[in-house]
Amino acid sequence: MSGASPANLGRPGGPAQRPRDEVRLARAALSRLVEPGDHTAAVLVGAVGPCRALAVMTGQDCLTGDEHQRAAAEAGSDETWTRRFAAGRRRWQTRAAQLDPAADLIAMHRMGGGLLIPEDDAWPRQLDDLGIERPFGLWYRGEVPPPEVGDTLAAVGSREATSYGRLVTERLIGQAAQAGLSIVSGGAYGIDGIAHRTALERGVGRPTTLAVLAGGLDRFYPSGHRQMLGQIAATGLLLSEMPPGASPTRHRFLHRNRLIAALAGAVVVLEARWRSGAQNTAHHALRIGREVGVVPGPITSPSSAGCHRLLLETPARLVMDTESVLDLVPGGRPVQGEPGLALMVPDGRRARDRAAVDVLDELDELESRVYEALAPRTHRCVDELSTAAGLPVPQLLTGLQRLARRGLAEQSDQRWRAVRPS
Amino acid sequence: MSGASPANLGRPGGPAQRPRDEVRLARAALSRLVEPGDHTAAVLVGAVGPCRALAVMTGQDCLTGDEHQRAAAEAGSDETWTRRFAAGRRRWQTRAAQLDPAADLIAMHRMGGGLLIPEDDAWPRQLDDLGIERPFGLWYRGEVPPPEVGDTLAAVGSREATSYGRLVTERLIGQAAQAGLSIVSGGAYGIDGIAHRTALERGVGRPTTLAVLAGGLDRFYPSGHRQMLGQIAATGLLLSEMPPGASPTRHRFLHRNRLIAALAGAVVVLEARWRSGAQNTAHHALRIGREVGVVPGPITSPSSAGCHRLLLETPARLVMDTESVLDLVPGGRPVQGEPGLALMVPDGRRARDRAAVDVLDELDELESRVYEALAPRTHRCVDELSTAAGLPVPQLLTGLQRLARRGLAEQSDQRWRAVRPS
């Protein structure tokens, strides 16, 4: 890791490190004290900074009048703030006794990780797009700094992937990973897991893949993905706003989705049911101005119903091949590897190329009318053809000669027949 | 048929019929003389009417100075018109000797049909939306007048229908036909044929289905659809702007598509390749302000690539169930038949209903956080739960009681556990 190293935590640091270490300890404590989505806590940290906020939230200290004013201005009114702050204090006190941020930092350090904070050079600046919803810090295991926003693509979808979902994820995400994009996902069963594994196998980005989990990084959830998540911790990057030991609740999953949306340059939804977490991620992304691409599927598949819903109800863009996926990422890089790689997706793009060489589609109106008047097996005379095509003889002859040059008409003894394109 | 009856043709008509019969004869002749898409001919008919236009185009008469002026005003300039008219004369003369409109009208009458013209009360007024591209007349076999625009839906798609294309066509078009809409299509193999047959079997509209052909109605093309087209002639409606004997050329297919688009209140594209006639029909429809619905499909299927292209490049709307199809037609009628019929499409709509009863999705933030803190098998005390949920005890108890009322939490000896929703 470049810049301030959380690996220093637990070792004697020079005086220069001291203030930053205090901030890191405070943010580590906040990550355990505060449940994601706690707007009051976020206002307080924004108004007075993490160290003062922690002292006030745990009851070690009180807000000064000036601090109270700043928070109240952010919250809208003095009365609103006073009421919210009192309610917050009651929430935060339930966990205040449990805090041991130094132990958490040491535990993560031993697992090859630490806590990234906004004060670090290595902090992924794209998370600032979340505004007040920016996490207090980002626990990690693996290789930091995280990739830049223009080098990342989030791939999300249903836990129950169909064979179609598997196929399109392996193809589209495989090629995006081969093109150098780091693939961000949520580590879940189904589409998430397929996306991570495809990136691990075929990716060339640094890292190939990032998994953003809803619980602490000391436990690999879901358990069936223990091996895969271990591999991501070793060669990729695991991230969470929750401290070690935190369990992955439904509530935390929904808030976790905003981190997937904000970390990546764009989000692709590969399969999603009518109500699904993948749609939640897509909405987070659209809210902060990220492009969202959606893969359509059969309308008979409930696993594509959420994709179609996004296409109907939001400005998400339909994607049908690797090129349209890469186009989503701002400053997206060109496809690396052998030329024609993008053509490996056997749908739109290839169909376009096939159609482009259909010589009959390239005929102009005159040529087309003359060609249609010709028969493939019978030679017909010019007068007959003139009537059939509804064209005077000079125009007809022009058309016949152009068709002959294209190899589509053949003359014999002043009579003409059509030649089928090869 | 109500209003002026083309059946009168070939019989002595009273003086009142005479002028209209002359117009009908002239329009019948024009339909053979002029190739669809001939802008110069359309300008001339618009400027001087069908009878004078025919006389001038066949060289029986010349344009008066006043007529020339009117046509030139329409064409843009005197010079442009003079040049175009001279070129047109050379085209029209190639077919002038072949005209026998009375014979054409009698032939169609014997086949149980005739020629509808804009001067008829039975003329489908929605064709006027085509402006200068309105056909000179509409040859028909079957039941006239054609249905109103609000009672019709066009169903178009690839000749090579996949099993998915067959399934969605049978479901969506079957239910639209059961809802009373007349189904318009092109009589071709693939989606067209499936749509027609589904409407013939299950439709309740008058007629159940209309086939708009690219060639004359004396020949059933393609030959494999002879029986089906015969059934449509007998119980539905066959239409074409081309006179009997005209062959269905590629050129005529493309112009035919504008008639499908204009006759119907909306167009649904069920499957389409990257380049396809169905897309051509969709573009015609969008150009004259008709709604276009598009069924998405797997991106791995070349038969859906054109559908996705329409969704990407045009204002066409994604449709995923019968309701969204019926919504396309202006003044579209409600679904008839037993309630819940619309739910027979096993995708979006049903998935929505299933999801709506997911009781966990209905929990508010407080209830959700408390529920997540509970374990399903272990009873936990209030202090433990307060810490796990990050909520003070009074709030926690409120949440627990609300969950208990919903049947999602169970108390035993001051300790609580979660109950899974049934």
- Does A373 reside within a domain? yes
CA-CA distance, B419 to B16, in Å (whole number)? 84
Neighbours of A205 (CB within 10 A): 22
| Shared-domain flag, residues A22 and A52 | yes
- pLDDT reading at A6 higher than 60: no
CA-CA distance, B203 to B201, in Å (whole number)? 6
Per CB-CB distance under 8 Å, the chain B contacts of A309 are 348
CA-CA distance, A22 to A16, in Å (whole number)? 11
For chain B, the average pLDDT equals 88
Place of tokens 């119907």: B264
CA-CA distance, A416 to A406, in Å (whole number)? 14
- Does A158 reside within a domain? yes
B305·A352 Cβ contact <8 A: yes
Residue B269, helix vs strand vs coil? strand
Instruction: Supply A146's token pair.
Output: 């995280």
CA distance B4 to chain A (A): 31
Of A250, A302, A386, the CB nearest to B372: A250
Sign of the dihedral defined by the CA atoms of residues A132, A282, A138, A117, in that order: negative
- pLDDT reading at B267 higher than 80: yes
Residue A340, helix vs strand vs coil? coil
CA-CA distance, B91 to B245, in Å (whole number)? 19
- Does A325 reside within a domain? yes
At B369, which CATH number?
1.10.10.10
Q: Regarding beta strands B291-294 and B409-412, do their DSSP bridges make them parallel or antiparallel, or are they unpaired? A: unpaired
Q: Quick one: pLDDT at residue A103?
A: 97
| Shared-domain flag, residues B309 and B163 | yes
CB < 8 Å from B in window 218-247 of A: 247
Place of tokens 């493939």: A376
Question: End of a domain among A313, A348, A383?
Answer: A348
Give the rounded distance of the alpha carbon of A53 from its chain centre: 33
b/e per residue, B177-201, with b = 16+ CB within 10 A? bbbbbbbbbbbbebbbbbbbbbbbe
Contacts of B362 (CB under 8 A, 6+ apart): none
- A132: contact with B, CB 8 A cutoff: no
| Shared-domain flag, residues B317 and B287 | yes
- B91: contact with A, CB 8 A cutoff: yes
Q: Quick one: pLDDT at residue B368?
A: 86
Q: Quick one: pLDDT at residue B361?
A: 72
| Shared-domain flag, residues B173 and B220 | yes
Contacts of A298 (CB under 8 A, 6+ apart): A164, A304, B164, B168, B296, B297, B298, B347
CA distance B121 to chain A (A): 32
- B94: contact with A, CB 8 A cutoff: yes
- A364: contact with B, CB 8 A cutoff: no
Phi, psi of A213 (to 5 degrees): -100, 160
- pLDDT reading at A171 higher than 50: yes
- Does A121 reside within a domain? no
A51 vs A136, B66, B294, CA distance in Å? Answer: 11, 91, 56
B298·A302 Cβ contact <8 A: no
Q: Quick one: pLDDT at residue B325?
A: 96
B249·A298 Cβ contact <8 A: no
At B208, which CATH number?
3.40.50.450
B390·A168 Cβ contact <8 A: no
Mean pLDDT of A122-141: 97
Q: Quick one: pLDDT at residue B9?
A: 43
B348·A390 Cβ contact <8 A: no
CB B156 within 8 A of CB B191: yes
Mean pLDDT of A192-220: 97
- pLDDT reading at A315 higher than 70: yes
B249·A361 Cβ contact <8 A: no
**For A233-272, what is each residue's pLDDT tens digit?**
999 999 999 999 999 999 999 999 999 999 999 999 999 9
Question: End of a domain among A348, A369, A400?
Answer: A348
CA distance B70 to chain A (A): 25
B291 forms beta bridges with B266
What total number of domains does chain A contain? 3
Mean pLDDT of B104-116: 97
Q: Quick one: pLDDT at residue A363?
A: 83
| Percent of residues, chain B, with pLDDT higher than 70 | 89
Q: With bands split at pLDDT 50, 70 and 90, how would you rate the model's confidence at A414? A: confident
Residue B291, helix vs strand vs coil? strand
Higher pLDDT, A339 or B300: B300
A164·B298 Cβ contact <8 A: yes
Higher pLDDT, B22 or B366: B22
| Shared-domain flag, residues A210 and A340 | yes
Q: Which of B269, B276, B217, B284 is nearest to B244 (CA)?
A: B217
- Domain, as residue range, for B61: 6-100
For chain A, the average pLDDT equals 88
A391·B91 Cβ contact <8 A: yes
A interface mutation test: which of B85, B314, B320 has the most A CBs within 10 A?
B320
- A309: contact with B, CB 8 A cutoff: yes
Question: End of a domain among A348, A369, A384?
Answer: A348
**For B323-366, what is each residue's pLDDT tens digit?**
999 999 987 544 443 333 333 333 333 333 344 346 777 788 88
CB < 8 Å from A in window 51-90 of B: 90
Q: Which of B371, B114, B149 is nearest to B237 (CA)?
A: B114
B94·A35 Cβ contact <8 A: no
| Shared-domain flag, residues B258 and B151 | yes
CB < 8 Å from B in window 319-358 of A: 319-321, 345-348, 350-352, 354-355, 358
Per CB-CB distance under 8 Å, the chain B contacts of A90 are 392, 394-395
A interface mutation test: which of B94, B158, B354 has the most A CBs within 10 A?
B94
* DSSP calls for A118-148: TTSTTS-GGGGGGGGG--S-EEEEES-SPPP
| Shared-domain flag, residues B144 and B51 | no
CB B112 within 8 A of CB B142: yes
A316 vs A307, B301, B414, CA distance in Å? Answer: 9, 21, 49
Sign of the dihedral defined by the CA atoms of residues A226, A232, A235, A240, in that order: negative
| Shared-domain flag, residues A289 and A174 | yes
| Shared-domain flag, residues A236 and A287 | yes
| Shared-domain flag, residues B373 and B262 | no
Q: Which of B323, B214, B347 is nearest to B268 (CA)?
A: B323
CB B367 within 8 A of CB A257: no
Q: Poorest-confidence range of A183-197, B292-306, B326-340, B385-399? A: B326-340
Q: Quick one: pLDDT at residue A406?
A: 85
B164·A298 Cβ contact <8 A: yes
| Percent of residues, chain A, with pLDDT higher than 90 | 73
Higher pLDDT, B19 or A9: B19
- pLDDT reading at B258 higher than 60: yes
* Residue in chain A nearest B89 by alpha carbon: A392
Q: Regarding beta strands A237-240 and A138-142, do their DSSP bridges make them parallel or antiparallel, or are they unpaired? A: antiparallel
| Shared-domain flag, residues A15 and A43 | yes
Per CB-CB distance under 8 Å, the chain A contacts of B297 are 296-299
* Three-state helix/strand/coil letters over B140-194: EEECCCCCCHHHEEEEEECCCCCHHHHHHHHHHHHHHHHCCCEEEECCCCCHHHH
Q: Which of A268, A44, A1 is nearest to A145 (CA)?
A: A1
Q: With bands split at pLDDT 50, 70 and 90, how would you rate the model's confidence at B118? A: very high
Contacts of B83 (CB under 8 A, 6+ apart): none
| Shared-domain flag, residues A327 and A369 | no
ipTM of the complex: 0.77
Mean pLDDT of B247-251: 93
CB < 8 Å from A in window 181-210 of B: none
Higher pLDDT, A304 or A420: A304
* Residue in chain B nearest A374 by alpha carbon: B249
Q: Quick one: pLDDT at residue A232?
A: 98
Q: Quick one: pLDDT at residue A84?
A: 95
Q: Quick one: pLDDT at residue A401?
A: 87
Per CB-CB distance under 8 Å, the chain A contacts of B91 are 390-392, 395
A299·B345 Cβ contact <8 A: yes
- Does B310 reside within a domain? yes
CA distance A113 to chain B (A): 25
CA-CA distance, B154 to B281, in Å (whole number)? 9
CA-CA distance, A182 to B220, in Å (whole number)? 58
- A34: contact with B, CB 8 A cutoff: yes
Q: Could you tell me the maximum CA-CA distance found in chain B, to the nearest angstrom? A: 107
Higher pLDDT, A238 or A19: A238
- Does A44 reside within a domain? yes
- Does B354 reside within a domain? no
Per CB-CB distance under 8 Å, the chain B contacts of A312 are 317-318, 320
B266 forms beta bridges with B291
- Does B150 reside within a domain? yes
CA-CA distance, B15 to B99, in Å (whole number)? 25
Q: Quick one: pLDDT at residue A18?
A: 56
Q: Quick one: pLDDT at residue A358?
A: 65
Torsion of CA A47, A48, A50, A51, to 10 degrees: -170
**For B198-231, what is each residue's pLDDT tens digit?**
999 999 999 999 999 999 999 999 999 999 999 9
Q: With bands split at pLDDT 50, 70 and 90, how would you rate the model's confidence at B393? A: confident
CB A179 within 8 A of CB A300: no
Q: Quick one: pLDDT at residue A185?
A: 98
Q: With bands split at pLDDT 50, 70 and 90, how would you rate the model's confidence at B401? A: confident
CA-CA distance, B312 to B282, in Å (whole number)? 13
Q: Quick one: pLDDT at residue A11?
A: 39
- pLDDT reading at A165 higher than 50: yes
